[in-house]
Chain A
Amino acid sequence: MRAFRYHRPADVAEAVAVLAAEPQGAYLGGGTNLVDLMKLGVQRPDVLVDVTRLPLDTVEEVPDGGLRIGATVRNSDLAAHPVVRRDYPVLARALLAAASGQLRNMATTGGNLLQRTRCVYFQDTGKACNKREPGSGCAALHGQNRDLAVLDWSEQCVATHPSDLAVALTALGTVVEVHGADGPRDIPIAELYRSPGAHPERETTLTRGTLITAVRLPPLPAARRSTYLKVRDRASFAFAAGSVAAVLDLDGDVVRDVRLAYGAVAHRPWRAYRAEEELRGRPFSPELAARAADAELAQARPLRHNGFKLPLTRAITVRALTELASS
């Protein structure tokens, strides 16, 4: 394990300034992913800038009716927050579906969004991975790829994004507040993540040293009718085999608005725009939900071992929306 320096900045500006001057540094949040990767030799930062003591640990209702969640708010605290539970159940459920109680007590909002793929080839320095070592190849493409992407992958990378939280935030149309060398700015979550393309090592659009300081949930009354369904190979403490975040706004039985996002299918949390389009303005039925999922998944290209993700994602889409429609 590479020896590293440890720095605890007093404020956001200092954090960003320190990392801007340290090309091999990394921010340390809850450490539930980074520290593992450091032990495995997958990440080898020479300095850690510990952001967990920055004053970013509050959840505030903002004047426009939305919710602003500081980047260092712990996952378990966020899941238990009364406003989140009442107004954004999709978020609370996604958080509680993730990891284990111990991990949720450590993991932070910002860190969760930036966690790395759990592709087993990425996590093993003895195997080829373009994400870990650009140009070395993708062992997963023709390997044990049951857990990996069916949508939007490239020959360079078939990894999935592991976060449940990010899928819920994607469905909600969250804005990510960041602070970089040029100061603060907002990024819609849909523009935070990248498709793998030729450069799977670049996972987000953030420039070096940019720190996520908060996420901002839009005011979305419809989100009171929202849910997160996660299917996994055991009842707890497993990444998703398939997951869906859904917000459904009905006018009578007609779909006025709908937000859908999938986990475990792509390199990024997958906003299902095609499915939403299929649903919007039509009377809701389980058959319509199935058609919508099929429309979204028509572009899928399953790998050798993960074709099951298509019927699975379809099934949970139908279930999530049907449950919401009847709630």
Chain B
Amino acid sequence: MSTGAVGRAYPRLEGPAKVTGAARYAVEYPVDGVSYGWAVPSAVVRGRITRIDTTQALASPGVLAVLHHGNAPRIAPGPPSELRLLQEPTVHYRGQFVAVVVATTLEAAREGARLVRIDYDTGPHSTVLTDDHPGLYAPEHVNPSYPTDTAEGDFDAGYAAAPVRVDATYRTPAYHNNPMEPHATTAQWHDGRLVVHDSNQGASSVQATLAELFALPPESVRVVAEHVGGGFGSKGYAKAAVVLAALAARHVDRPVKLALTRQQLFGPIGYRTPTIQRVRLAADTDGRLTAICHDAISQTSTIQEFAEQTAVYTRSMYAAPHRRTTHRLVRLDVPTPFWMRAPGECPGAYALESALDELAVAVGIDPVELRIRNDTAVDPEQGRPFTSRNLVACLREGAQRFGWAGRDPAPRSRRDGRWLIGTGVAGSSYPARSRPSAATATARPDGSFLVRVNATDIGTGARTAMWQVAADALGVPPERVEIRIGDSALPTAPVAGGSMGTSSWSWAVIRAAQALREKLRDGTPPTSEVTAAADTTEEVGGQPALPRYAYGAQFVEVRVDADTGEVRLNRMLGVFAAGRVVNPTTARSQLIGGMTMGLSMALHEEGLLDERYGDWVNHDLATYHITGCADVESIEAYWLDERDDELNPAGVKGIGEVGIVGTAAAVANAVHHATGVRIRELPIRLDKLIGVSGLA
């Protein structure tokens, strides 16, 4: 019996707590005897610490300790090398944390950090990604475990033989995750046990990593992440803040709060790698693709490999008999790139969906129609049918809602005073994955239920969605259900990432609820608490390897000032096919958030590296521009009623990421339509348009 909670627009359960300030974030928990940690970044790009002088820092009022490679607690071998902080004098990139100052106040810690004197031996460095860098290599695989290169048919022959060809190179800069809440931790040790209140996207995985780092049994580590102020992927694993806080707390033998500064979020926590992408498309004169090639270049650090799966999007998106994708990587003296909303798919779609627009222009076919013509029912690489694929339906519905019909395809065909107006479209897709999860469901004598799953709500509404799913699975009104998430003491669950949180957690919640209902056959409340547990490891592992994706179509109208080159958004509209929607309120928020982030990528964001310093110089929110409310004049998100029985018990596909994929291409395509100018390097800022001959 479903009570119909799933599909209803409930407001977030924790909304009142958040807006009144009652909800606590990682460093807001009151702790007795607390001290404050301040991370000290390296001042050189590459080198070796030869001497650390802490005399002045230790003499500064309030300073309790300065930790560095010479005195910090040891870390066990095994964990990711970039987490082995303060263990050795080597510096791999500018901004790498090389010391931590602990003091009785935050201000004292900050001042102490200024007084730490560090000498380095330095060497030459290389920090700029180029397509002819001598260090380019093919990694063994790209994230998470895709083949580096793929090929079907004979791309070169297919390309050479085609009547229409597009060969274009697109570039994207470094993008930086800027969640409202920085990476932050309160760490406490009690009798050899570690408790952290930490801002992360998966308390279970952070627990596992900390246990490994400190050679503890997992049950001796507790990670609480009840409310998390955003992450976008940057908090998907344990990162520097939690490790430094735990090391510091152990060293000074008292609780330590450590939050990274905004500036410190621009390196050590990871970023979306810059990319250089060459896309070649070949087609018949009717626009049917015959050959596709996508060659992607990105960077990683010297300390750890991170291989962005940039061209993976191209492997399954559109049909063509001859296909090739490659990834090349170079190790630079820079921080390690990391996850950022739709890693791979997002920059990859920018290139492919832009190239498709160039093809549409070249063959004189409407870009919506071009995509429809190249739709495919089977995964072009795997040869298997998609479990559901409603890309065409998204394109048609979007075109209708947007008012695409009758569009004059000619660039610069619309003008309103000084404004050149243009429209653009792009497709979107993102994998619909699930991972094993555990959950428990408890019936209480008072007729209420408690459902526990270590999901993380990074602001997406995960808590509310799980509550709705649990209510339906238990067959009771949601008001009778209490949901607990965000604590590693709860049943183990995967990260809020990869658009697989809802599908994975709800799977376990539904199975636990079903098991509980089995135990309570007569449906009456038990006389004492009855609990049932579920673990989906076996069931998820046994799922057939089918191509499962969410889809979307993005439509954008921009205006470009013919005098100044300013690009402004008139409206943006997306239609998505993402399985069953659990909560329309939070789903819409995710989709328009993703689209806004894609707009930000298209028009505003850019990490500006100064190669002499090996550092991004615009490392704050005043100079690293992120789209603000005033930039989003009209944005609409819709979804199709989609049923797919090959997903998971809740029938959901993730929606955290599909909203960003394709957006930047739609914006860039609209700018081309408005101006006749194709900008192939993001962001599309006025300086790239103002000098263009004939714009005015």
Contact = CB atoms under 8 A, between A and B. Distances in A.
Interface in B597-630: 603-604, 608-610, 612-613, 615, 617-620, 622-623, 625, 627-630
A3 B103 CA distance: 14
A127 B613 contact: yes
Interface in A256-310: 305, 307-308
Nearest to A238: B625
Nearest to B613: A127
Given A2-B111, A315-B563, A126 B43 contact: yes
Contacts of B609: 144
A233 B627 CA distance: 10
Interface in A221-253: 231, 233-239, 241-242
B566 A120 contact: no
A234 B111 contact: no
Contact of A311 (B618, B620, B629, B691): B691
Given A118-B622, A144-B618, A312 B630 contact: no
B686 A233 contact: yes
Contact of B114 (A41, A144, A234): A41
A11 interface: no
B111 A3 contact: yes
A316 B564 contact: yes
A302 B316 CA distance: 46
Nearest to B107: A1
Contact of A308 (B111, B627, B691, B696): B691
Interface string B622-645: 110101111100000000000000
B61 interface: yes
Interface in A127-150: 127, 139, 143-144, 146-147
A14 interface: no
B197 interface: no
A143 B615 CA distance: 11
Contacts of A2: 111
Contact of B631 (A147, A235, A241): A235
Contact of A120 (B110, B111, B564, B623): B623
A233 B628 CA distance: 11
A234 B627 contact: yes
Contacts of B418: 319
A133 to B, nearest CB: 14
B568 interface: yes
B687 interface: yes
A311 B563 CA distance: 8
A124 B686 contact: no
B142 to A, nearest CB: 30
Contacts of A319: 418, 563
Contacts of B414: none
A88 interface: no
A120 B625 contact: no
A193 interface: no
A27 interface: no
Contacts of B690: 308, 311-312, 315
A53 interface: no
Given A1-B110, A231-B686, A237 B628 contact: yes
A308 B618 contact: no
A127 B690 CA distance: 31
Contacts of B691: 307-308, 311
B141 interface: no
Given A126-B43, A231-B566, A316-B564, A143 B617 contact: yes
Contacts of A121: 617
Contacts of B617: 120-121, 124, 127, 143-144
A81 interface: no
A172 to B, nearest CB: 24
Interface string B654-696: 0000000000000000000000000000000111001100001
A184 to B, nearest CB: 35
A31 B604 CA distance: 27
Q: How big is chain A's contact interface, by range? A: 35 or more
Interface in B110-136: 110-111, 114
Nearest to A235: B630
Contacts of A239: 622
A237 B623 CA distance: 10
B628 A235 contact: yes
Interface in B60-98: 61
Contacts of A242: 564
A57 to B, nearest CB: 27
A242 B561 CA distance: 14
A309 to B, nearest CB: 9
A146 B630 CA distance: 23
B604 A234 contact: yes
B110 A233 contact: no
Interface in A41-98: 41
A231 B623 contact: no
Contacts of B612: 139, 143
Contacts of B625: 233-234, 238
A144 B110 contact: no
B686 A139 contact: no
Interface in B289-319: none
Contacts of B628: 234-237
A185 interface: no
Contacts of A308: 565, 686-687, 690-691
B613 A126 contact: yes
Nearest to A127: B613
Interface in A1-18: 1-3
Contacts of A305: 687
A150 B610 CA distance: 20
A39 B111 CA distance: 9
Contacts of B43: 126
Interface in B25-69: 43, 61
Contacts of B564: 231, 242, 312, 315-316
A236 B630 contact: yes
A238 B624 CA distance: 10
Contacts of A238: 625
A307 B691 CA distance: 9
A266 to B, nearest CB: 18
Contacts of B111: 1-3
Of B608, B686, B696, most buried by chain A (CB within 10 Å of CB) is B686
Contact of A234 (B61, B620, B631): B631
B568 A235 contact: yes
Contacts of A123: 620
A233 B114 contact: no
B686 A144 contact: no
Q: Which of B418, B564, B610, B685 has the most CB of A within 10 A?
A: B564
B578 to A, nearest CB: 29
Contacts of B619: 120, 124
A46 B629 CA distance: 39
A68 B88 CA distance: 62
A242 B625 CA distance: 16
A144 B631 contact: no
B621 to A, nearest CB: 9
A241 B686 contact: yes
A235 B568 CA distance: 8
A284 B16 CA distance: 59
10 residue pairs, one from A and one from B, having the closest CB atoms: A235-B630, A308-B687, A315-B563, A236-B630, A120-B617, A1-B107, A144-B608, A1-B110, A235-B631, A144-B617
12 contacts: A1-B110, A2-B111, A120-B618, A126-B615, A139-B612, A144-B608, A233-B625, A234-B630, A237-B630, A238-B625, A308-B687, A318-B563
Interface of B: 43, 61, 107, 110-111, 114, 263, 418, 563-566, 568, 603-604, 608-610, 612-613, 615, 617-620, 622-623, 625, 627-631, 685-687, 690-691, 696
Given A120-B618, A120-B619, A234-B630, 10 more contacts: A3-B61, A39-B110, A118-B622, A127-B610, A127-B613, A139-B610, A144-B608, A144-B618, A146-B687, A318-B563
